[in-house]
Chains A and B, each alone.
Chain A
Amino acid sequence: MQRSLKQIIIERLQREILDLEGFKTKTEYTQTKLGLRALENNFPNHTFPTGTIHEFVSEKPEHTACTSAFISGVLTKLNNQNGIYIWIGKQRQLFPVGLKKFGIQPHQIIFINLVKQKDILWATEEALKCKNLSGVISELEDITFAQSQRLQLTVEKSKVTGFILRTQTERINATACAARWQIKPVASENEEHLPGVGFSKWQVNLLKVRNGNTASCTVAYYHGQLAVVETVNTYPFTHQAIGS
């Protein structure tokens, strides 16, 4: 009896912490934020956490292209086309015209080109403090645990969602981010037997989810919507996500 009471208290406290960290409790009868239920079920409370930091790993420019598109699709879903975003990177390679396809308004993105890692980190932190931004995307080679912790503390105050694109994949260390994603292209899907390149399709791997499950699924982009095509649970279940 004594023990179970303790458990209940701990669970309640865990829920409160989750709430502070940006995992808002799902209210009944609401749609998922992204419309990707199979993917979002792996997060605590079954919701895609906003107001926190997401980490994306991509080693090749092909992967970066897919990751950028996926982030654009996610941002559009979250903000309904009228948000303002900041994209901090090393060099300009993102092509605004190509992003329009994924729902985002390219003129709503402010690009900031910086050379030094230190400057990018500083600018990212400054941007994350700005409550009026709908998203901050930062291309970083590497980030230490302390640096990510600092960014996480910043967003907890401002409730801005941050996305970190890591290009250095050899040394992946632990970070304070809510989730670590990896997005790879897979062969496109053609309608019927039409020739040519079909709809964009990606392998979305959730390598790490704080208080959630890892997962892997294939996501396609049809007619301006992200959709889960198939779920492959290649990673063993570690534990049940809290709140599920």
Chain B
Amino acid sequence: MSKRYLMIWFPYLVTDQMAIRQEELKGQAYALITQERNKQMIVNISYEAQHQGLRPNIPLADARIILPSLQTFKFHAQKEQKLLKAMAEWFIRYTPHVALNSPDGLFLDITGCTVWKSEEQHVKEITEHFANKYHIKIGIADTLGAAWAIAHYTKGQIAKPDEQLSHLLNLPPKALRLEEATLQRLAKLGFHSIDSFIHIAPSTLRRRFGDEINVRIGQALGHKPEAFEPITEPSPYQERLHCLEPIQTAKGIEIAIENLLENLCARLQKEDVGIRSATLSTFRLDGKLQQISIGTNQPSIHIKHLFKLFELKIKQIEPDLGIELFIMEITKVEALAKQQEALWQAQAQTDLGEIAELLDRISIKAGKNAIRRYLPQEHHWPENSIKAVTDLKEQPETEWPMHKPRPTVLLNQPEPIQVSVPIPDYPPMTFTYKGEIHRIAKADGPERIEQEWWLSEGKHRDYYQVEDEKGQRYWLFRSGHYDSKITAQWFIHGFFA
């Protein structure tokens, strides 16, 4: 049985997607540009821009002359690839074999896929699905080459089996996917359509244009093979466990979880990825669905550790009459960090893995927000001088500031105190905090810290480090300037060691 191929070409793949995401771009002329040496080149254009005379691969400056109102956006090659890949995955509903034709086309191997619906019906269905969303052009033929040519250079037709030659005859030589040099030579010699040279003997063509032209003609007509590389089908990280007898005990659930984890982790290990989050769904006899989820700080395939995380949550499941089906689904995976097998644990080097596992257990019980690490931030305002991070490995970008005295304990909110001050801009003599009077024996300061006007507004603070008669050390500040009308408010903000 001869093969059948369908080619789908998205002439405006990325620009069409942008119009779907951003309503206001619909019906507008816009282009995606990239920097190429010292000039900006147009990579992709929208349908409207094409109709107003623009073409891809021209400098932006030229395009502006043709169309001054042209809107431009930056082009991301990865984004285009990702979109095409997603499209390819969507087309798996029609055939198990889908291949990418970068940058903007897809090949579908539809051999034997037209038992229930004819090819025409398929084309109609796909066209209807993409109407008003993506511009598409479809070609169907026995060979990849012919399907490509029909999709790109006709209005979209179906070449009946063994009839691809007649469809190719009127097309330009470009439709054979020839190299630019060959195309130029063909044009120079007056070959403007395929029928003018396709019947010439191959040996003559090879002498004039090299071997490539014979290969391409052969591929289009089906004499020569062409590789078809289908994408691999994404398979979800999911494991099911059916139980012959409904499970009612916690021990039974534990065994089920262990079983599922073993299977999943064996697969993950081969793919070199680890679990970041996973969900266990249990289906009870009476049809009730119960779920427990776990998350980890670092990708893990450590069965014992993952089991411990689930173990903390088993209590939440009510087996009642019994559970008949367990489904473990991994909702997030991440590449595993390369681990070096150590023969012995050096004393100086600490293994973060064990600590990460400890934190996982704690975060399952107490929530992710309970765990914090702090790194310095370049701000003078004390509340902003540290930032919380969750990553275990993140190192400070700047040194911890040491040049100014900072307390060991900082109150979450500065608390107002009553003071008696001898003269302005001097530290207080006494202050009352929580009903206790402290007489100040020694003091340092003031250290003025201004509000960061680009972040917040308010009064500055004049900080004093003071020590009372008992030797207890405090961090006090006065908010704002002295004023004859309003008495300045004093606060306590921390305790020094």
Q: Across the interface, do B386 and A96 meet the contact criterion of CB distance under 8 Å?
A: yes
Interface mask (B405-431 → A, CB under 8 Å = 1, otherwise 0): 111111110000000000000000000
Q: A97-B376, A107-B395, A111-B372 are in contact. Are A197 and B410 (CB under 8 A)?
A: no
What's the nearest-Cβ distance from chain B to residue A193, in Å? 12
Q: How many A-B residue pairs have CB under 8 A?
A: 172
Q: Across the interface, do A95 and B371 meet the contact criterion of CB distance under 8 Å?
A: no
Q: Across the interface, do A95 and B396 meet the contact criterion of CB distance under 8 Å?
A: no
Per the 8 Å Cβ criterion, residues 442-497 of B in contact with A are 442-444, 465-467, 469-474, 494-497
- CB contacts (< 8 Å) of A92 on chain B: these are 372, 412
Q: Counting chain B CB atoms within 10 Å of each CB, which of A70, A97, A132, A195 scores highest?
A: A97
Contacting chain A: which of B2-10, B104-112, B220-228, B362-370? B362-370
Check if B350 is an interface residue, CB within 8 A of chain A.
Answer: yes
What's the nearest-Cβ distance from chain A to residue B390, in Å? 10
Q: Across the interface, do B494 and A188 meet the contact criterion of CB distance under 8 Å?
A: no
Check if A61 is an interface residue, CB within 8 A of chain B.
Answer: yes
Q: Across the interface, do B441 and A187 meet the contact criterion of CB distance under 8 Å?
A: yes
- CB contacts (< 8 Å) of A65 on chain B: these are 407-409, 473, 494-497
Q: Across the interface, do B366 and A107 meet the contact criterion of CB distance under 8 Å?
A: no
Q: Across the interface, do A93 and B412 meet the contact criterion of CB distance under 8 Å?
A: yes
What's the nearest-Cβ distance from chain A to residue B356, in Å? 10
Q: A133-B355, A200-B497 are in contact. Are A112 and B370 (CB under 8 A)?
A: yes
Q: Across the interface, do B497 and A66 meet the contact criterion of CB distance under 8 Å?
A: yes
Q: Across the interface, do B408 and A126 meet the contact criterion of CB distance under 8 Å?
A: no
Q: Across the interface, do A110 and B467 meet the contact criterion of CB distance under 8 Å?
A: no
What's the nearest-Cβ distance from chain B to residue A187, in Å? 4
Check if B69 is an interface residue, CB within 8 A of chain A.
Answer: no
- CB contacts (< 8 Å) of A184 on chain B: these are 471
Check if A98 is an interface residue, CB within 8 A of chain B.
Answer: yes
Q: A98-B406, A197-B444 are in contact. Are A127 and B358 (CB under 8 A)?
A: yes
Check if B131 is an interface residue, CB within 8 A of chain A.
Answer: no
Instruction: Please tell me which one of the listed residues B471, B474, B494 contacts residue A95 in the complex, with CB atoms under 8 A apart.
Output: B494
What's the nearest-Cβ distance from chain A to residue B133, in Å? 49
Check if A207 is an interface residue, CB within 8 A of chain B.
Answer: no
Q: Counting chain A CB atoms within 10 Å of each CB, which of B355, B365, B392, B444 scores highest?
A: B355
- CB contacts (< 8 Å) of B402 on chain A: these are 100-101
Check if B160 is an interface residue, CB within 8 A of chain A.
Answer: no
Check if A84 is an interface residue, CB within 8 A of chain B.
Answer: yes
Q: Counting chain A CB atoms within 10 Å of each CB, which of B374, B392, B494 scores highest?
A: B374
CA distance A26 to B109 in the complex (A): 78
Q: Across the interface, do B410 and A98 meet the contact criterion of CB distance under 8 Å?
A: yes
Measured as residues with beta carbon below 8 angstroms from the partner, the interface class of chain A is 35 or more
What's the nearest-Cβ distance from chain A to residue B155, in Å? 64
Q: Across the interface, do A200 and B409 meet the contact criterion of CB distance under 8 Å?
A: no
Q: Across the interface, do B412 and A200 meet the contact criterion of CB distance under 8 Å?
A: no
Q: Across the interface, do A95 and B365 meet the contact criterion of CB distance under 8 Å?
A: no
Q: A65-B496, A107-B374, A111-B372 are in contact. Are A97 and B365 (CB under 8 A)?
A: no
Check if B354 is an interface residue, CB within 8 A of chain A.
Answer: yes
Q: Across the interface, do A123 and B366 meet the contact criterion of CB distance under 8 Å?
A: yes
Q: Across the interface, do B373 and A109 meet the contact criterion of CB distance under 8 Å?
A: yes
- CB contacts (< 8 Å) of A38 on chain B: these are none
Closest B residue, CB atoms, query A184: B471
Interface mask (B33-73 → A, CB under 8 Å = 1, otherwise 0): 00000000000000000000000000000000000000000
CA distance A188 to B466 in the complex (A): 11
What's the nearest-Cβ distance from chain B to residue A166, in Å? 16
Q: A98-B407, A127-B358, A196-B443 are in contact. Are A114 and B497 (CB under 8 A)?
A: no
Check if B1 is an interface residue, CB within 8 A of chain A.
Answer: no
Q: A64-B495, A112-B362, A122-B365 are in contact. Are A97 and B473 (CB under 8 A)?
A: no
Q: A66-B497, A102-B497, A200-B496 are in contact. Are A95 and B410 (CB under 8 A)?
A: yes
CA distance A47 to B334 in the complex (A): 46
Closest A residue, CB atoms, query B402: A100
Q: Across the interface, do A61 and B409 meet the contact criterion of CB distance under 8 Å?
A: yes
CA distance A105 to B375 in the complex (A): 10
Interface mask (A94-130 → B, CB under 8 Å = 1, otherwise 0): 1111111110011101111110000100110011011
Closest B residue, CB atoms, query A64: B409
Check if A35 is an interface residue, CB within 8 A of chain B.
Answer: no
- CB contacts (< 8 Å) of A197 on chain B: these are 405, 442-444, 465-467, 473, 496
Per the 8 Å Cβ criterion, residues 383-410 of B in contact with A are 385-386, 392, 395-396, 400-402, 405-410
Check if B348 is an interface residue, CB within 8 A of chain A.
Answer: yes
- CB contacts (< 8 Å) of A84 on chain B: these are 350, 355
What's the nearest-Cβ distance from chain A to residue B351, in Å? 5
- CB contacts (< 8 Å) of A200 on chain B: these are 473, 496-497
Check if B359 is an interface residue, CB within 8 A of chain A.
Answer: yes
What's the nearest-Cβ distance from chain B to residue A171, in Å? 22
Check if A82 is an interface residue, CB within 8 A of chain B.
Answer: yes
Closest A residue, CB atoms, query B363: A112
- CB contacts (< 8 Å) of B396 on chain A: these are 107
What's the nearest-Cβ distance from chain A to residue B311, in Å? 13
Check if A131 is an interface residue, CB within 8 A of chain B.
Answer: yes
CA distance A114 to B365 in the complex (A): 10
Check if B152 is an interface residue, CB within 8 A of chain A.
Answer: no
Instruction: Please tell me which one of the listed residues B407, B408, B442 contacts residue A188 in the complex, with CB atoms under 8 A apart.
Output: B442
Q: Across the interface, do B371 and A112 meet the contact criterion of CB distance under 8 Å?
A: yes
Interface residues of A (CB under 8 A from B): 61-62, 64-66, 68-70, 82-84, 86, 91-102, 105-107, 109-114, 119, 122-123, 126-127, 129-134, 184-188, 190, 195-198, 200-202, 221
Given contacts A65-B495, A82-B350, A95-B382, 18 further A-B contacts (CB under 8 A): A65-B497, A95-B408, A98-B409, A98-B410, A98-B497, A107-B395, A111-B373, A112-B362, A122-B365, A123-B365, A127-B362, A129-B358, A132-B355, A185-B497, A186-B471, A187-B470, A188-B442, A188-B471
Interface residues of B (CB under 8 A from A): 348, 350-352, 354-355, 358-359, 361-362, 365-366, 369-376, 382, 385-386, 392, 395-396, 400-402, 405-412, 441-444, 465-467, 469-474, 494-497
Mind listing 25 A-B residue pairs with CB under 8 Å?
A: A65-B407, A65-B497, A66-B408, A82-B348, A96-B386, A97-B406, A98-B408, A98-B409, A110-B373, A112-B362, A112-B366, A112-B372, A114-B370, A119-B366, A127-B362, A132-B350, A132-B351, A133-B350, A184-B471, A185-B471, A188-B471, A197-B442, A197-B443, A197-B466, A198-B442
